[in-house]
Every structure is written in C-alpha cells, then in structure tokens.
Amino acid sequence: MERIVHGMSPSEALANLRQADGYYVTNTARDLSQSDYKNRILLHTDLLAAPAREEAGFFSLEITGGASIHVDMLRKQVDPFLKLELLREKMPNTMFQTLCRGINLFGYRPYPQNVIRMVVSEYAKYVDVWRVFDFLNHVPNMVAVFEEVQKAGKILEPAVCFSTGPEHTDDFYVKKVGEILDVTGQEIVLCIKNHGGLGTPKRIGDLVNAIMQKYPDLVVHYHGHNTDGNDVGRITAAVQAGAKIVDASDHAFSGFYGPPSILSAVNTLNEYGYQAIGLKEEAVVETSEVLRNQRQYYDYFESQFKGFDPTVQTHKLPGGAAGSSFEQATKGGFLDKMPTILHDELPKVQKELGNYWSVTPGSQILWTTAVANIQAGDRYANASWDLKNLLLGKYGPFPFYQPADWIYEKIFGSDWRQILEKEGGMDQIEDMDIEQERRDLAEKLGYQPTEQQLVNYLQHPNDAVAFFKFEEKFGKVYVLPPSVLFRRGGFKLGETIQFRDHYGKEHVVEIGPKQHDETGTAHVYLNVDHHERRYEFEPEVTESSGGAAKTVQLSKQEIEELARSGDYRAPFGANVCEVSVRVGDEVKAGDQLLILEAMKMQTPIKSEVDGKVESLAVKVGDAVKPGGELVTVK
Amino acid sequence: MKKKILVANRGEIALRLIRAIQELGHAAVAVYETPDNEALHIRTADEAVWLGDGPRCDYLDIDKVIRAAKKTGACAIHPGYGFLAENPDFAKACEDHGIIFIGPPSKVIQALGDKVTARKIMQDAGIPLVPGTTSLAPGDAGVAEAVEFCRNHGYPVMLKATAGGGGRGIRRIDDEKQLKAEIPVARDEAQAAFGNDAVFLEKLVINPKHIEVQVIADQEGTTVHLGSRDCSIQRRNQKLIEIAPSLIPDQALVDRICDTAVQAAKAAGYFNAGTVEFLVDKDYNFYFMEINTRVQVEHTVTEMVTGIDIVRTQIKLALGKKLAFGQDDVKVRGYAIEVRVNAEDPQNNFMPEGGKTVAVYRSPGGYGVRLDGFAYQGYTIPEVYDSLLVKLTVHGFSWNETVDRLRRCLNNFVIVGPKTTIPFYLRVIDDPDFKGGDFNTSFLDTHDYLLEYEDFTSEGNKLAHLIAEIHYRQQNPYAV
C-alpha cells in the first residue's frame, strides 16, 4: 500500500485513503505538547526527532495550530512559519497538519472574514492537512476557512466535536456530518474530534459505524485523548468500524492527557488484523529513543498531577486544558476545591449552559464559570465577558437548548429578555483595514513587516510585536536546547554551552562570574566565542519599592468596595490587553475602562461612577496581580 | 653614560617615551598628577615625581616640571605631544635652566606656532600656500581687510586664531554677513583660549586630503623626510585613523610633497623631529598648512614602514648626535595603519567613557601588530584627561593585507567596561571608499551611516545575552 506524502493532491491522497486496506496514523506532536507539557515542547526537540519521524511514514505530523502559534511566539520565541520551514527541510515527505478553530482561527475569539482568509492562505503554503472545528459545531463558523483551504489545494478535514450525554446521539452527529458535506462536498477527510477522550470504545465504534452507514465513501479520522487511559480501546473500535486515520503520539513523551502511544494502538490493531499503512515501527521506536533523553528538561512543564483520570467522563475537561487547570488551581490557591469543581460544579455548569462541547474557547468559559461559582459562593454572580457573549449567542446558537431563564436573569438582570432581544445573535464582524494594520505594524517595528509577520500580528497584536522585538534583541533562539532555555537555578561557573546558530556558525559560551555593583546592577560575565562579554541587569523592582503593578492583599469585598469609590483593582491575576481611556477622560458609570485577559478570557473593567480618569497605573501588556492598581476615576 | 631623562607627559605617549629612554640605557623619570595615581607610566618609569593634585594644571606647570627635573637630576626633558610640547616658554625655560629640551629650539617653536609668521617664512621660501591674510588689524580695520580679501578670493574661507592649533579655534565662513559677525566672536574666543586675540583668514580648500610628512633634522641642519602620512579620516578636525604612506597613486606628486616638506623645515631652521602638514585638493594641488614641532600621535605608522625609531632618534639628536642615516637610506616598505582606540561612545556623539573601569582587557598580537597603550584590566579611566586608551598600529606589505590585519586585530581586541571606537572602526575599514583609498576630510560627514551599527550584533552575542539572562534570573523569564 502506498504511503501518502507531501505534494500529493487532495484527490490523490483521498483516493489512497478510500482504497486503503488498513489505516493510517497521524502523529499528534502538537496536541501532546499542549496536553502534557503546557505547549512547551521546543522546535529544537522536534528537529531532533524529525529524521526518525520522517522515516516512520505517518499520514501526517500534527505540528502547528491550536494555541501553538500563540505560544510559539509568546513562550518559545520561535517564528511559527520558520518552524514549519525548518521541519520541512528535514521532513520532505511527511504532510504537516494543523488544528484551526474556524472563525476563531488560532486565537480565542472571532476574526473578520478578510483576516481569516489572509491567515489561512498564508499558512496553507506550509500546511497540507487542515483540521477545522467550531466549539458549537456551528458549520457557518467554519465556512470561510473551508473555502480558503480548498482554494489553496490542501486537504480539508472538517471536524465534528464529540461529547457525551443524552443529546449527543448518533443521529445528531450523522446530521451534523451531512451539514458539513453540504458545504464542502465529498473531497474531505472527516474528523471525529474527541478532545476529552470521552465515551467508551463501544460508543465510538457505534458512532463511526453510524456515519459510515450513511456515508460509506467518507474517510473518517479519529482523534482522541487518553485522559482516562482507554483511548487505545476507542481507536481500535474506530478502525474496526471503518475509520481510516487515527491520532496517536510518541511513547517517550506520552503522558496522561494527550493522545496515547502509537505503538500501543498499532500492536493492538495488528492482533485484530488491521495494518498501519506505511508505518515503520523501528522508526517509531527510534523517535522515542531520541525523545527519551529530552524529557527530563521539560519536567517543570508536566502536569502537577500525574495519573489517568477516568472522572474526565464527568467533568469533560479537554486534554489540552487538563494540565493548565491544575496549574491554575495551584497558583490560584484553590487546589483544595478541585474535587468539588471537577466532580460537582463543572458537570452542573455544563448541563446548565447547554451541554455543548468543552473545547477552546468554550471550555475556558465552562471552567472559569465553575471556578468563579465556587470561589464566590454565589453562582453566576461574576459572569465573565465571554460567558455573557456566549449567552447572547455571539459565538453561535446553542446546539441543543438555551440555558435556563434564571441564569440570564442572574447575569443580565430583570430586563434580560430585552437585552437578549436587542443584543442577541452573532455580530457581523466588520472587515479589518489590513493596509492600515500593516502601516501600524511597520511603525511599531521601524521596518516594513513581511506578510508572515503581518499574519501573526493580525491574530495576536501585542504578543507578535513583543516577539519580533525579542528576536531583534536575542536572535533566533530555537537553536538553544531545552537544557539551556528551560534551565532553572542558573548555570554552573565554568559550564560551557555549545550551539550552532540559525545561520550555521558554531558558538561556545562559557559561564563566568556574576557580580553586583553598588547600585545593585548585576554584571554577568560570559566568555562568548573566546571573547569576554559583560551583560548588565538592573535590579528587579520589588513590590515594596513600587512599580506599575503594585500588589496589595485585598479581599474580593474590598476590591468591590474600592471600585464603588472609583479605585479599580484587578479582581484576579491577569494581563492588561486593552486600555480604553486616557487620564483626564470623562467617563460615565458603565463605560469600559480597560480589558483584562486571563486564561484566554477577556474581562472588561467598567466604571461604576461618573467622573474623570485621574490616574492609570497600567499599560497594555502589563501583568497585574490580584488587588493590583489599575485606574482611578474621581 | 647613563643619563636621566624626564618625561613631561602621561598616558600612552609617556610609556612610548619611557620605552625609548630605557632602550637607550638611560633612566626615565615620570611625573604625574593625583588622578593618574594608578597610571602605568609611573610604574614603568625608573623614578616618578608627583606634581600636584591637578587635574590638567600641574602637567602644564612649567615651574613644577623644571623643579622635578632639577630634583631628580634629569639632564633632558621629552615633552611628548600636547601639554607643554609646543609651548615655546617651556622650551625656553629648559634652555634657561640648562636642561636639554628634546625638540626644536624655543625660537623655532615660537615662529612656527604663530601661524602668520609661519606663513611668512614659507612664502619667502616659495612653498605653496593656501591664499590667506596675515593677522588681521585690530578693530574695524581688520574687518575691512577681511572683507576685501574675501571679495578677491571668494567664499568659503576659514577664520583661524593665529595662536591656535590642533584643530581648535577654526571656523568656516560662507558669506560677508557671517564674516562680519564672526570676527569679534573669534577674537574673544582666541583671547580666552590662547591668550592672544589675533585672527587671520585662509581660503577654504573644500574636502581636501590631509597629507603630512615626517621630517627630522640634526643640529648641523641635515634634514631628511621619513615619507608621507594620510590623516584625512578625522572627526571635527581630530584625527582618528592614520595611514603611511599616503595612498595618492601619483608617486611623483608624493615625492614632490615630501621634498617640499624638507625645504619648509630647512626654511624654518628646524631641528629634531617635526611634521609638515599639507592640504591636497581634488585636483591634486597641495598647500602648506603648518609645521607641528613635536612628536605626533601617529608617528608609529612612519616607524612601521621605515623601520626608524623616531623617538630614539629624537633623543639621540637632542643629546648631540648626528643623523645616522641620509635621505637615500630611508625606504618605505608596505603600509601601516593606526587607529586610535578611544574610550568613547561613537553612537553618542563620541562621548567620553571616562570614569569607567576596564573589566576585561585582552589585546591582539601576532605578525605586524603594534600596540601603544596604557590601559590594563582593572584600570579606571580618569575622567579628566583625554579618552585615548591605546593606539593599534598594523603593518603589511600591501594595502589589502594591512586592512585585513587591522580587521582581524579589531575583531580580536577585547575591552569590556568602557565603550570604545573599535566597533566603529570595524565599520569604517569595510567601507568601499576606505578600502579604495578614496577619502578626504569629509569622509565621516559623508559616511555618517557608518555610525549606525549595533553593539554586540553577532547572532552568537545575541543568544549569549539570553543565556546571561537565564543565568541571572535563574530561569528563562520569557518561557514561563
């Protein structure tokens, strides 16, 4: 049987898939990184693994998309396009796959049509397989991406998000597949996106079977997570029922929340008489031999809580959010409340909010609502902006039922019906003036940006600019291994670090002494390529010495009280993503002052009084701690 | 017989002089002001005399220096450059106290230091001069004289202080209105700076090459030249890079300039080492500018291409020896380039970096490399003196070889602490006009983009910066 390779046309690839006597495997490196390593697996590691992964003969390597484009720039300081170029050099045959959130692209809220089309056409130059989903399974939200992918001649893989519950019947999903095919035509791969790893093997087998009964020529790609430890079972059932591609990951890096190990699934299916087409098991083993040595450097980013979690069937957290939820609970100091949140509140909120699919950005809404409900002790008292938008139908219609009236009333007040009437439904998002954005970016950078830079800027304006400036200052840091980039506690005196830079020059850096002068400025001496260099670091501003985001221990009541007096404090730890006023502006009660962002969720801070903006303690991009000063209105 | 010779200077030139004195088997006496407590010349000299707290007043104090010589029994004083080097009163004081002044007689310094007198001497000797006036008459009469001159010769002209030098006290005048306005200002300034308010005019030679000739004469009047130097690369009339010999392709012209220099020195009754400076315009006309009656900063390039130790020769001549070589013995071999490595930030208007400590100092070496410096690891640069740290001079058989050697040395020169002119020189020497020898005194003005370099630009240094940050913060602050 033939291996499917980069450069095949979608029809050629689909013909191969339809005729396949067996199944293909997608290596979900990106999703594994997201689910079990907080998205921190570095390009350096993927490049080390590239030759063996190329040899392994996968249908595709899922290596970009989801939150990774954002995290590539924000936390790994690697150009998401350059990443694909470099991997392509080492992997000429393997198709690259992405995960695209439809109208939300690679971000967290809807983008205008012209931005969607530009972003997709630019990334389609590098990405062969496009998995596209919408957290409400609202097909119109995906159409623009569908069209651009097909226009670019790439393989389109629309996804139906899968979940469980009385409404989630085979009938519903088969109809959903029909809705998609009506838009896309037959030349697609259909993904069953089981991001939570929900349902039993039987449930998945039945679902695939139902879809195949109705659409016998459809190529089904099963994607699952191993949170409950049983995804190999679901994969097996999916293939038995006719799925032609399944998702799995390298065993050396497998954890608890990502897809399961490739060879475990392959060995199981072998026994049942199903062959993994084109797959070279030795190369899969070899990949893990390479990766095994790297895992130690990612220790810090692995989940605080290790072990399979069969209770996912109740709380339904997607694998990609499981690790970060525990991290948030640890940092937020509510770890003790996790059992209540996961086993009681979150399932309850899910049902109350329409039992839709817990995946970005919908999963964040469910999660933050459940946390807020428990933290406040008063359910739905602190509705986030995104929850309000969900209730108003800004993301799309509820798939099964609308949440109960009392929730609307609690959140919007007694005139909630009028508000829903007036503001409800999806907004027509105006096209962006892309040329204006290009000029803005050029001004921020001081040079003419490339199309790729513009594309990333349109989605993540602040973080993209910060990344471009970072690269000017520190160079292309992907060449540094995780043992350097993720080193904690500093290096040893005399330790040498060797690396080859992006342009091919070898360097050696030897760690020298560290001194502080009388002003507190630190001097770090390094021997760089046999030249002494000194790097200066200003002392870090401690909280007692002031600084933009002062932190005070304030209770929630105190923060609310201060707000009523015009002194606005951060109600939670967040980043400032927009400042809507300037000092001296006249504002009225209800006017938006600024927007905070935490956990991919935006929360506007609105004035509770009429008055004049007296002071602003923060600017866009600042991180504030709970109780930190934001703005005062007098 | 072993003699004591006092070095009335500081910094790199003091060390240069001490070396020559010690090589001749004599003892060197250093002098210093308090800010130079840690300076290397004190440690290298055989004896040292503290002059006072300074700064910059005790090195200029003729009495104190003479007393130091008397106290230590020094029979001769070498003034170096700057400070008292071209002060005829100092030379005179030495003569009066029976101390040998290593340089020309005070009368010669006096005559050549007065630019108008110098012009007169040269004019009488038939040396080509830039059209100019004598010192302008005082008051309005002088202004009228100036206006008349400019009407005859045209603008722009240079308004110069008669007693000025080293690029100071010079202003460019573009029209009559400006001329009338500037003369009183220039007079006031000259009075304040040089204690003499006389000024004169010279026709401005636009964008000339600055070519100078090293001459040397013994007491019997035997005068030879040691070839030419090109010092066109200057910043506001301060030389930065000096080259020997001149890159002018017409060798006959260069020979003519050198012969004219000898003629000029003879006309001035010159003794000991001196430098005759010329301007060469775009049509290769050359004009006498002035004679510097001292050892020059850039004497090293001439030493490198001729093999003649100028300072050693100066001392021997001053002690009564005759020139040991004639003009025919002087052969120029290859090229030499000197760059002045200054503790300055070229990107901040060449602001001096005084007060900073040299944390790391590692100099290049190898074939054809010469260093004349005084900085060392741990040395704190005094804020009160000039910013020259070290002169890097390289020698090569061809121009390209010399530039390649200079690039290698600049790349391998490690000075951590103060910012230096090294990264700027690296940009300059890779400029096609520099490499092609196609430059004149306007080079820096027309190539100001050479200042737009980034410090620590290499990819390795950028990545090392992040490593430093990860090391300092104990984790990668950009990853969490």
Q: Which residue of A has its CA nearest to B475?
A: A488
Asked if B71 is an interface residue toward chain A (Cβ–Cβ < 8 A), one would say no
Interface probe for A, chosen from B471, B472, B474 (most Cβ of A below 10 Å), is: B471
- What's the confidence (pLDDT) of residue A199? 97
B461/A533 CB distance under 8 A? yes
B459/A485 CB distance under 8 A? no
Q: Please report residues of B whose CB lies closer than 8 A to that of A573.
A: none
Whether the per-residue pLDDT at A552 is higher than 70: the answer is no
B471/A524 CB distance under 8 A? yes
Q: Which residues are within 8 A (CB) of B367 and not within 5 positions of it... i.e. 6 or more apart?
A: B405
Q: Which residue of B has its CA nearest to A300?
A: B480
The percent of residues in chain A predicted with pLDDT above 90, rounded, is 74
Decide: residue A179, CB within 10 A, 0-12 exposed, 13-18 middle, 19+ buried: middle
Does CATH place domain B131-203 in 3.40.50.1970? no
User: Which B residues, 361 through 420, put their C-beta within 8 Å of a C-beta on chain A?
Assistant: 362, 414, 416-417
Q: Which residue of A has its CA nearest to B463?
A: A474
State pLDDT tens for residues B230-240. 999 998 778 99
Q: What CATH architecture applies to the domain A489-539?
A: Roll (3.10)
The model's pTM is: 0.68
Report long-range pairs for B253-261 (Cβ below 8 Å, ≥24 apart).
B253/B284, B253/B286, B254/B211, B254/B228, B256/B286, B257/B211, B257/B213, B257/B228, B257/B286, B258/B213, B258/B225, B258/B227, B258/B228, B259/B225, B260/B127, B260/B128, B260/B286, B260/B288, B261/B213, B261/B215, B261/B225
B248: pLDDT confidence band, cut at 50, 70 and 90?
A: very high
Question: Which sequence spans correspond to the domains of chain A?
Answer: 10-299, 489-539, 545-633
- What's the confidence (pLDDT) of residue B462? 92
- What's the confidence (pLDDT) of residue A326? 87
Single-letter code of the amino acid located at B348: N
User: Which B residues, 414 through 433, put their C-beta within 8 Å of a C-beta on chain A?
Assistant: 414, 416-417
State pLDDT tens for residues A123-176. 999 999 999 999 999 999 999 999 999 999 999 999 999 999 999 999 999 999
| For residues A77-99, average pLDDT | 98
Nearest to A103 by CA among A118, A90, A113, A89: A113
Asked if B462 is an interface residue toward chain A (Cβ–Cβ < 8 A), one would say yes
Does CATH place domain B209-451 in 3.30.470.20? yes
Q: Are the CB atoms for B403 and B429 separated by under 8 Å?
A: yes
How far lies A545's CA from each of A197, A296, A550, A572, in Å? 48, 37, 9, 22
- What's the confidence (pLDDT) of residue A2? 78
Asked if A535 is an interface residue toward chain B (Cβ–Cβ < 8 A), one would say yes
Phi-psi region of A166 (alpha: psi -120 to 50; beta: other; left: phi over 0): alpha
Asked if B442 is an interface residue toward chain A (Cβ–Cβ < 8 A), one would say no
Asked if A492 is an interface residue toward chain B (Cβ–Cβ < 8 A), one would say no
Q: Please report residues of B whose CB lies closer than 8 A to that of A522.
A: 472
Single-letter code of the amino acid located at A145: V
A87: pLDDT confidence band, cut at 50, 70 and 90?
A: very high
Q: How far apart are CA A77 and CA A474, in angstroms?
A: 10
Q: How far apart are CA B249 and CA B230, in angstroms?
A: 12
Whether the per-residue pLDDT at A550 is higher than 50: the answer is no
Q: Please report residues of A whose CB lies closer than 8 A to that of B462.
A: 473-475
Q: Please report residues of B whose CB lies closer than 8 A to that of A514.
A: 471-472
Q: How far apart are CA A612 and CA A329, in angstroms?
A: 37
B456: pLDDT confidence band, cut at 50, 70 and 90?
A: low
Asked if B360 is an interface residue toward chain A (Cβ–Cβ < 8 A), one would say yes
- What's the confidence (pLDDT) of residue B355? 87
Nearest to A66 by CA among A308, A258, A235, A349: A258
Rounded to a whole number, what is the distance in Å from the CA of B404 to chain A's nearest CA? 20
A501: pLDDT confidence band, cut at 50, 70 and 90?
A: very high
Q: Please report residues of B whose CB lies closer than 8 A to that of A507.
A: 459-460, 463-464
Q: How far apart are CA A213 and CA A191, in angstroms?
A: 16
Q: Which residue of B has its CA nearest to A474?
A: B462
State pLDDT tens for residues A315-368. 999 999 988 888 888 888 898 999 999 999 999 999 999 999 999 999 999 999
A571: pLDDT confidence band, cut at 50, 70 and 90?
A: confident
- What's the confidence (pLDDT) of residue B403? 97
- What's the confidence (pLDDT) of residue A409? 96
| For residues A587-600, average pLDDT | 82
- What's the confidence (pLDDT) of residue A286? 98
Whether the per-residue pLDDT at B169 is higher than 80: the answer is no
Q: Please report residues of A whose CB lies closer than 8 A to that of B466.
A: 474-475, 477, 480
Asked if A499 is an interface residue toward chain B (Cβ–Cβ < 8 A), one would say yes
Question: Which sequence spans correspond to the domains of chain B?
Answer: 4-102, 131-203, 209-451
| For residues B412-433, average pLDDT | 91
Whether the per-residue pLDDT at A623 is higher than 90: the answer is no
**Least CB-CB distance to A505: which of B459, B464, B472?**
B459
| For residues A596-602, average pLDDT | 74
Residues of B tagged active-site: 294
- What's the confidence (pLDDT) of residue B165? 64
User: Which A residues, 286 through 305, put their C-beta within 8 Å of a C-beta on chain B?
Assistant: none
A507/B463 CB distance under 8 A? yes
Whether the per-residue pLDDT at A551 is higher than 60: the answer is no
User: Which A residues, 433 through 472, put their C-beta within 8 Å of a C-beta on chain B?
Assistant: 470
Asked if B471 is an interface residue toward chain A (Cβ–Cβ < 8 A), one would say yes
Angle at B261 between CA B256 and CA B262, to 5 degrees: 100
**Least CB-CB distance to B414: which of A489, A531, A537?**
A531
Interface probe for A, chosen from B467, B478, B480 (most Cβ of A below 10 Å), is: B467
| For residues B419-424, average pLDDT | 92
A466: pLDDT confidence band, cut at 50, 70 and 90?
A: very high
H and E: helices and strands count for chain A = 25, 20
Q: How far apart are CA B233 and CA B431, in angstroms?
A: 13
Q: How far apart are CA A634 and CA A614, in angstroms?
A: 6
Q: How far apart are CA B303 and CA B291, in angstroms?
A: 19
The segment with the largest mean pLDDT, out of A101-115, A581-595, B449-463, is: A101-115
- What's the confidence (pLDDT) of residue A579? 87
A405: pLDDT confidence band, cut at 50, 70 and 90?
A: very high
Nearest to B412 by CA among B369, B377, B354, B466: B369
Torsion sign, CA atoms B123, B127, B131, B132: negative
A540: pLDDT confidence band, cut at 50, 70 and 90?
A: low
Asked if A485 is an interface residue toward chain B (Cβ–Cβ < 8 A), one would say yes
Mean pLDDT of chain B: 93
Single-letter code of the amino acid located at A69: I
Whether the per-residue pLDDT at A546 is higher than 70: the answer is no
Does A339 sit behind a cis peptide bond, omega within 30 degrees of 0 on the bond before it?
no
- What's the confidence (pLDDT) of residue A584? 86
- What's the confidence (pLDDT) of residue B166? 56
Q: What CATH architecture applies to the domain A10-299?
A: Alpha-Beta Barrel (3.20)
Whether the per-residue pLDDT at B222 is higher than 50: the answer is yes
| For residues A586-611, average pLDDT | 83
Q: Are the CB atoms for B416 and B359 separated by under 8 Å?
A: yes
Mean pLDDT of chain A: 92
Whether the per-residue pLDDT at B454 is higher than 80: the answer is no
Both tokens assigned to A60: 């595709």
3-state secondary structure of A132: strand
Whether the per-residue pLDDT at A543 is higher than 60: the answer is no
Q: Which residues are within 8 A (CB) of B456 and not within 5 positions of it... i.e. 6 or more apart?
A: A533, B462, B465
Cβ neighbours, 10 Å, residue A324: 21
Nearest to A613 by CA among A595, A590, A586, A589: A586
Report which secondary-structure segment, H or E, holds A220: strand A219-224
Q: Which residue of A has its CA nearest to B364?
A: A531
B460/A501 CB distance under 8 A? yes
Does A361 sit behind a cis peptide bond, omega within 30 degrees of 0 on the bond before it?
yes
| For residues A243-262, average pLDDT | 96
Q: Please report residues of B whose CB lies closer than 8 A to that of A537.
A: 468-469, 472-473
Interface probe for A, chosen from B413, B476, B480 (most Cβ of A below 10 Å), is: B476
Rounded to a whole number, what is the distance in Å from the CA of B436 to chain A's nearest CA? 30
Both tokens assigned to A577: 């993503």
Please give the CATH topology (third level) of the domain spanning B4-102. Answer: Rossmann fold (3.40.50)
Nearest to B77 by CA among B61, B60, B90: B90
Phi-psi region of A584 (alpha: psi -120 to 50; beta: other; left: phi over 0): left
Asked if B470 is an interface residue toward chain A (Cβ–Cβ < 8 A), one would say yes
Q: Comparing B211 with A527, which gets the higher pLDDT?
A: B211
- What's the confidence (pLDDT) of residue B474? 92
State pLDDT tens for residues B122-136. 999 999 998 888 889
**Least CB-CB distance to B461: which of A486, A528, A537?**
A528
- What's the confidence (pLDDT) of residue B189? 85
B471/A40 CB distance under 8 A? no
Q: CATH assignment of A545-633, given 3.30.565.10, 3.40.50.970, 2.40.50.100, 3.30.365.10?
A: 2.40.50.100
B472/A528 CB distance under 8 A? no
A274: pLDDT confidence band, cut at 50, 70 and 90?
A: very high
B480: pLDDT confidence band, cut at 50, 70 and 90?
A: confident
CB pairs under 8 A between A and B: 109
Whether the per-residue pLDDT at A599 is higher than 70: the answer is no
| For residues B42-46, average pLDDT | 96
Q: How far apart are CA A313 and CA A310, in angstroms?
A: 6
Rounded to a whole number, what is the distance in Å from the CA of B240 to chain A's nearest CA? 25
Whether the per-residue pLDDT at A531 is higher than 80: the answer is no
B463/A522 CB distance under 8 A? no
What backbone torsions phi and psi does residue A530 show, to the nearest 5 degrees?
A: 70, 15
Rounded to a whole number, what is the distance in Å from the CA of B362 to chain A's nearest CA? 9
- Which region among A181-185, B397-401, B473-477 has the lowest average model confidence (pLDDT)? B473-477
Written as one string, the DSSP assignment of A562-626 is HHHTTEEE-SSSEEEEEE---TT-EE-TT-EEEEEEETTEEEEEE-SS-EEEEEE---TT-EE-T
3-state secondary structure of A435: helix
A490/B456 CB distance under 8 A? no
Rounded to a whole number, what is the distance in Å from the CA of B467 to chain A's nearest CA? 7
Whether the per-residue pLDDT at A549 is higher than 80: the answer is no
Q: Please report residues of B whose CB lies closer than 8 A to that of A534.
A: 359-360, 416-417
Interface probe for B, chosen from A485, A505, A511 (most Cβ of B below 10 Å), is: A485
Q: Comparing B167 with A579, which gets the higher pLDDT?
A: A579
Q: How many Cα atoms within 13 Å fall on the side-chain side of residue B179? A: 24
- What's the confidence (pLDDT) of residue A562? 83
